[in-house]
Amino acid sequence: MAFATKLALGDVNADDCPPLLEPGFEKNLKTIRELTAPLLSTAETGVKLDEEKCTGCGNCVVACPVDVAVEPPTGIGKAARGDVTVFRIDNGVAKIINLEKCRRFPPDRLNCRVCEQYCCTDAIEIW
Amino acid sequence: MDDIVCNRCSLLCDDVLAQIRDMETKSLGLCRLGHTHLERVAHFSKIDAISRKNGVENGLNLDEALTMAAETLISAKHPLLYGWSRCTNETISEGLSLAKTLKAVFDSSASMGLSQSMSHNIHNMKLETDLEAVQNNGEFIIYWGSNPVESSHRHASRFTVFPRGENVPQGVESRITGVVDVRETETMKMGNHRIIIPQGGDSELARALIDDLTGKTPLKTPILGLPAATLVGISQALRKSDFTVIFYGSGIINSGKTAENLSLLAELIQTLRDLGKNAYAMPMWHEPSDMSVIKSSKKLTSTHLAIDFSSGKPTQLSAKTTFQRLTAKEFDVVLVVGTDAFAVLPGQAARGLTSSNIIYIGSGGSLMDQWAQLSLRVADDIMSASGSMTRIDMKDIQLKSWSGSKMASQNVFDVITRLHRLIEARLKD
C-alpha cells in the first residue's frame, strides 16, 4: 500500500518495483506504466483546448485552483487580466497561457481535472 | 488595454479589457459573444446614413438623414418605436419621450418575455436579489428553463456557480447546482441535479416540490416520469440550503402556461421562506437593455409591456399586442432603434414589418441596416461608452469611456436626442 501511495503521488514509478520487472508480469507492468504516465512528465500528460468549441465562459479560469492562487480576483469570478494564470480568456476564447503551472505537472502531479469537469461545451480534454 | 463594460448581454460585464489598434480588436475576459460583438461594431463606428427607394441607395449626411427621418415620423398615422435592446437608460428615456411627442407606440424585445415576469406577482412579491448577493451567499443555484451556457456565457463563472463568496468560500464545491429543462442542455454539465421534464411540466414539478416541502404530499411516486428518488434528492437539497436562487428563463415564460408557472415558482420560494430559508427567484434574460426598458417604463406607467401614447397619455397597449399589430401591418412607419428587429421578432411579425416604412438607428451591418428605407448608422454603446445600463438584477452599471470611444463621435443617444428636438421644432411650426 505504501508503494501504491508513492506511485500515486509520482514519487516512484512502476519500474521501481522489482517484482513487476520479473518474467510473467509484463502485462501488469505495461498497464501500470500507462496508468501512471500522466504523473511522470509533461511529455505524457496535457490539457487540450478546442477553441472552436469554447464559448469563453470562464468556468475553467474560476474553477482552476492555480488561477485563484496566482490571481486571487479570479476566485470571486473576475476575469483573469494578468499573465500568470493557467487559463485566460483572450479574444473571446480560453487560452492556456501557463500550462506548466497546471497541478497535473511536477511538482504537484495531482490528478486534477476540474477544468475538464466544468467545461460545459467539452472544449477541454485531459489526457 | 482599457477597462470596458460589455453590452452584449444582460450581465453587462465590467471587469473586462479591450483594445482596438490598426483595425484589430483584442480583449481579455470578454466571452465569445462579447468579443464577437465588439469586433463587429468596432468596424462600423463611422457615422453615415443611407436611404433606399426602389432598390436605389443614396448616401446622406447626418443632417439630411435626420430631416428625412423627422418628416417621415411626423407624417406617420400609426408610428411604432421599437427595439432598444442594446441602448443606455438615457437613450430609452429619450425614446419614451419621443414616443410621447409622436403619440406613437413604444415597445421592445422585453415584451417577448421579461416584461411578463416583471408584470407578474412574482416581481411584486419582491422575491429578487442582486447577483453579488448570489455570489456571496448562494448555496443552491437552480437554472429552471434557462440555459446560460447558450445565452449569458459568464453567468455561472462570474456570479452563481463557480465564484467564491463570503459564505461560500469554496465556490463550486460549497454550492449545489440544479438544472430543470425540457431537454438535455449544456448547462446540465455543471448540475448536481439534472431534471428533464416533459414540455409544460414545470407547474406540476413545482407543485410536487411544494407539497413535499410542506408535508402535504410526500414524494413517493414518480412525477412527470421522473423517479421519486430523483425528486426527493432535489427536495432535500432545497431543505438543506440556506440560500436558494432559482433563475427562471424563457422555458418558464414561453411554455404556454406563463402565469401558472410563475405563480408556482413564487409559491415554491415562499414555501422555502416559510421554512426559515433565504430563497429568491430571478429572471434570466439575455437582451442587455430589457431591464433598462422596464425600469424606464415603470417611471411613466404601471405597465411593463408595450406603451401606447396615441391618446397623449401613456397606457398599456390593449386589445392587440405589438406583434399582432405588426402582423396585421397596422404600423405605417416603424422607427427601429438599437436592435436587429428581423433577427428577434417572430416570423409573422417580421414579415409584417417589411410592409412598413422602416427607419433604423443603430450599428451597421445588421439585417435591419441592410433593409431599412432609411438607415442611420451610429456607434454602438460599447464603443461610445457614455451613460448607464441596467443589469438583469436591476442594478445600474455605468459605461466606461475608453480609447475606443474616440472612434465613436456620435452614439444612439445623441442621434435620438437631435431627432426628437427636430421633431419638436417642426411640430411647433
Asked if residue B27 has pLDDT above 60, the reply is: yes
* CA B141 to each of CA A105, B134, B248, B282, B328: distance values in angstroms, whole numbers, following the listed order: 33, 9, 11, 11, 42
Report the candidate in B420, B427, B418 with the shortest Cα–Cα distance to residue B62. Answer: B418
Structure confidence at residue A9 (pLDDT): 66
Percent of residues, chain A, with pLDDT higher than 70: 91
- The whole-angstrom separation of Cα A52 and Cα A64 is 21
Q: Is B16 helix (H, G, I), strand (E, B) or coil?
A: strand
Structure confidence at residue B395 (pLDDT): 94
CA nearest to B166 within chain A: A76
* CA B350 to each of CA A45, B76, B346: distance values in angstroms, whole numbers, following the listed order: 52, 19, 6
More confident site: A28 or B213: B213
Averaged pLDDT for residues A47-63:
94
Percent of residues, chain B, with pLDDT higher than 70: 99
Report the candidate in B201, B207, B206 with the shortest Cα–Cα distance to residue B246. Answer: B206
Residue whose C-alpha cell reads 422607427 in the numeric block: B335
Asked if residue B127 has pLDDT above 60, the reply is: yes
Is residue B190 less than 8 Å (CB to CB) from chain A? yes
Name every chain A residue with its beta carbon within 8 A of the beta carbon of B16. 79
Same domain, B262 and B299: no
Banded pLDDT at B345 (limits 50, 70, 90): confident
CB–CB of B33 and A90 under 8 A?
A: no
A:B CB pairs within 8 Å: 108
In total, how many domains does chain B have? Answer: 2
Averaged pLDDT for residues B229-258:
92
Which ranges constitute the DSSP H helices of B336-411? 341-344, 347-353, 367-371, 381-384
Residue B226 host element (H or E): none
Which of B35, B164, B172 is the closest to A76 by Cβ? B164
Which of B283, B309, B328 marks a domain boundary?
Answer: B283
Banded pLDDT at B46 (limits 50, 70, 90): low
Cβ proximity of A61 and A85 under 8 Å: yes
The mean pLDDT value of chain B amounts to: 91
**Residue B156, domain member (yes or no):** yes
Asked if residue A43 has pLDDT above 50, the reply is: no
* d(CA B103, nearest CA chain A) in Å: 42
Burial environment of residue B354 by CB neighbours within 10 A (0 to 12, 13 to 18, 19 or more): exposed
Is residue B135 less than 8 Å (CB to CB) from chain A? yes
Report the candidate in B306, B268, B272, B274 with the shortest Cα–Cα distance to residue B114. Answer: B306
Structure confidence at residue A39 (pLDDT): 62
Same domain, B142 and B276: yes
Report the amino acid identity of residue B382.
I
Same domain, B130 and B163: yes
Averaged pLDDT for residues B128-149:
95
Report the candidate in B390, B380, B386, B366 with the shortest Cα–Cα distance to residue B41. Answer: B380
Name every chain A residue with its beta carbon within 8 A of the beta carbon of B135. 76-77
**Residue B246, domain member (yes or no):** yes
Banded pLDDT at B44 (limits 50, 70, 90): low
Which of B15, B26, B162 is the closest to A79 by Cβ? B15
CA–chain centroid gap for B20, Å, is: 27
Angle at which helix B412-428 crosses helix B89-102, to 10 degrees, equals: 20
Same domain, B156 and B128: yes
Same domain, B311 and B423: yes
Same domain, B237 and B325: no
Name every chain A residue with its beta carbon within 8 A of the beta carbon of B28. 79-81, 88-90
Structure confidence at residue B137 (pLDDT): 97
Domain ranges of chain A: 2-40, 47-126
- The whole-angstrom separation of Cα B197 and Cα B182 is 5
Report the candidate in B386, B324, B407 with the shortest Cα–Cα distance to residue B5. Answer: B386
CB–CB of B34 and A80 under 8 A?
A: no
Structure confidence at residue B164 (pLDDT): 96
Report the candidate in B227, B213, B228 with the shortest Cα–Cα distance to residue B279. Answer: B213
CA nearest to B27 within chain A: A91
User: How many residues in total does chain A contain?
Assistant: 127
Banded pLDDT at A7 (limits 50, 70, 90): confident
Name every chain B residue with its beta carbon within 8 A of the beta carbon of A81. 15, 17, 28-29
Q: Are strands B388-390 and B396-398 parallel, antiparallel or unpaired?
A: antiparallel
Report the amino acid identity of residue B37.
H
Using a CB–CB cut-off of 8 Å, the residues of A that contact B are: 54-59, 61-63, 68, 73, 75-81, 88-93, 118-122
Q: ipTM score of the complex?
A: 0.90
Same domain, B63 and B51: yes
Burial pattern A91-120, b for ≥16 Cβ within 10 A else e, equals bbbbbbebeebbbbbeebbeebebbbebbb
**Residue B35, domain member (yes or no):** no
Q: Are strands B79-83 and B105-108 parallel, antiparallel or unpaired?
A: parallel
Q: Which architecture characterizes domain A47-126 according to CATH?
A: 2-Layer Sandwich (3.30)
Banded pLDDT at B424 (limits 50, 70, 90): very high
The parent domain of residue B194 ranges over 115-283
Is residue B179 less than 8 Å (CB to CB) from chain A? no
Averaged pLDDT for residues B166-183:
95
Which of B256, B283, B310 marks a domain boundary?
Answer: B283
| Sheet with B374-377, side-by-side order of all strands | B56-60, B48-53, B374-377, B357-362, B333-337, B79-83, B105-108, B307-308, B315-316
Banded pLDDT at B202 (limits 50, 70, 90): very high
CA nearest to B16 within chain A: A79
Query: What's chain A's Rg over C-alpha atoms?
Result: 17
Structure confidence at residue A111 (pLDDT): 84
Name every chain A residue with its beta carbon within 8 A of the beta carbon of B149. 55, 57, 120-121
Structure confidence at residue B209 (pLDDT): 97
Same domain, B185 and B258: yes
Asked if residue B262 has pLDDT above 80, the reply is: yes
Structure confidence at residue B344 (pLDDT): 85
Q: Mind listing the pLDDT tens digit for each residue in B360-379?
A: 999 888 899 989 999 999 98
- The whole-angstrom separation of Cα A84 and Cα A114 is 18
* d(CA B158, nearest CA chain A) in Å: 4
Same domain, B306 and B182: no
Asked if residue A47 has pLDDT above 90, the reply is: no
Same domain, B94 and B160: no
Same domain, B166 and B226: yes
Structure confidence at residue A42 (pLDDT): 46
Which of B264, B283, B302 marks a domain boundary?
Answer: B283
Averaged pLDDT for residues B71-77:
96
CB–CB of A78 and B189 under 8 A?
A: no
CB–CB of B186 and A121 under 8 A?
A: yes
Q: Mind listing the pLDDT tens digit for each residue in B289-343?
A: 888 888 888 887 776 678 889 888 888 777 788 888 999 999 999 999 998 888 8
Q: Which of A39-53, B237-251, B313-327, B414-428 has the lowest mean pLDDT?
A: A39-53
- The whole-angstrom separation of Cα B128 and Cα B362 is 32
CB–CB of A59 and B162 under 8 A?
A: yes
Preferred mutation among A49, A53, A59, A121 to probe B, highest tally of B CBs within 10 A: A59
> Which range has highest mean pLDDT (A9-18, A95-104, B304-313)?
A95-104
Structure confidence at residue B120 (pLDDT): 74
Averaged pLDDT for residues B90-111:
93
Banded pLDDT at B242 (limits 50, 70, 90): very high
Is residue B137 less than 8 Å (CB to CB) from chain A? no
Same domain, B350 and B403: yes
Asked if residue A36 has pLDDT above 80, the reply is: no
Report the candidate in B76, B95, B192 with the shortest Cα–Cα distance to residue B140. Answer: B192
CB–CB of A77 and B172 under 8 A?
A: no
For residue B202, the domain's CATH number is 3.40.228.10
- Secondary structure of B212-223 in HEC code, one letter for each residue: HHHCCCCCCCCE
Name every chain A residue with its beta carbon within 8 A of the beta carbon of B30. 56, 79, 89, 91-92
